[in-house]
Amino acid sequence: MIGKEKQKELLRLAAEAREHSYAPYSHYRVGAALLTKNGAIYQGCNIENASFTPTICAERNAFFKAIFDGIRTFEAIAVIGSGELPAYPCGVCRQVMAEFCDDDFLIITSNADGSEVVAETLEQMLPHRFGPKDLL
């Protein structure tokens, strides 16, 4: 599991990614920084759409960029929102994490100003999940 310094670096990169957010409807801006097992970091931001359904979260944006590059193993993700509460990943993003990540995949969430940070594993955030092993 990554240490506190690496977690801080990921949160800083997530905050940087948040600057790219396109959220004209909710005004809830989110950034993510995804650490791969080989040490690469992919950033993502939320991108909203007037028709709402095509909207994508910052976490999936980061995952899909990495997956496009052929990466399939991940260590941790930091997510920072623009509200007073930590930006916990939505259910859809947790399910995407379940597709590619192990139980100990670390999810670090923060509120807008970084004063409240929570770090939990995928197992803690999505217990009893449906995943690839269920289709073997």
Q: What track of x and - describes contact with Zn ion for positions 52 through 91 (by CB under 5 A)?
A: -----x--------------------------------x-
User: How near is the Cβ of 100 to Zn ion at its closest, in Å?
Assistant: 15
Residue 45 interacting with Zn ion (CB under 5 A): no
User: How near is the Cβ of 94 to Zn ion at its closest, in Å?
Assistant: 8
Q: Active-site residues: which are they?
A: 59
Determine if residue 110 is left, alpha or beta; phi over 0 gives left, psi from -120 to 50 gives alpha, anything else beta: beta
Residue 93 interacting with Zn ion (CB under 5 A): yes
User: How near is the Cβ of 89 to Zn ion at its closest, in Å?
Assistant: 5
Q: Which is nearer to Zn ion, 54 or 136 (CB)?
A: 54
Q: Which residues on neighbouring strands pair with residue 83, listed in sequence order?
A: none
Q: Which is nearer to Zn ion, 34 or 93 (CB)?
A: 93
Q: Which is nearer to Zn ion, 3 or 14 (CB)?
A: 14
Binding residues for Zn ion (CB under 5 A): 57, 90, 93
